[in-house]
Amino acid sequence: MGEVRLEVYSGAKAGAAGVTRAMARTLARHNIRANNVAIAAINTPGIRARRTADPEAAKKMMEHYVIRRLGESDDVANMVLMLCSDGSGWITGQTIPVNGGYSFAL
C-alpha cells in the first residue's frame, strides 16, 4: 500500500514481490512454482496487546479491513496449503494478498 512512515517496510514488500516474479521465471523450467503470500495484521499475541493498549487505535485500524476482523493464522495457512496443492499447479509468480480486503490485487 505504501503506508506513511513505513517506507522501508513498503519497499521490502515490493522487493519481495519482484524477487518472487524473478524466481518464478527462473525456476519454472524445473517445474518449480514461486508465489508470495502478502499478509496484513494477524491476530497474534503482539497485535492483541497493542489493540488492548490502545482501543481507539484498534477501532481505527479495523476501518481499513473490508472483512471487519483481523486475520487468523489459519487464514494464511489455508492459502499456503492451496498454493502447495495440485489445485494451484498453474499459478506462479504471483503475490496473493491474504488481508481481509485491506488492499486488492489486479
For 41-99, how does the pLDDT look when each residue is reduced to its tens digit (9 = 90+)? 999 999 999 999 999 988 988 998 999 999 999 999 999 999 999 999 999 999 999 99
> Among residues 24, 12, 38, which one has the least CA distance to residue 104?
38
Q: Which domains does the chain have, with CATH numbers?
A: 7-98 (3.40.50.720)
> Which of 95, 96, 92 is closest to 26 using CA atoms?
92
Per-residue exposure over 12-35, b if at least 16 CB sit within 10 Å of its own CB, e if not? ebeeeeeebbebbeeeeeeeebbb
Q: Is 102 a catalytic residue?
A: no
Phi, psi of 64 (to 5 degrees): -85, -10
2 pLDDT tier (thresholds 50, 70, 90):
confident
- Catalytic member of 1, 6, 7, 9: 9
Residue whose C-alpha cell reads 518449480 in the numeric block: 32
Question: What pLDDT was estimated at residue 105?
Answer: 78
Residue 37: which H helix or E strand, with range?
A: strand 36-39
Instruction: Identify the burial level of 65 via C-beta atoms within 10 angstroms of its C-beta, where 0-12 means exposed, 13-18 middle and 19 or more buried.
Output: middle
Residue type (1 letter), 78: N
Q: Record the pTM.
A: 0.84
Residue 4's pLDDT band (cuts 50, 70, 90): confident
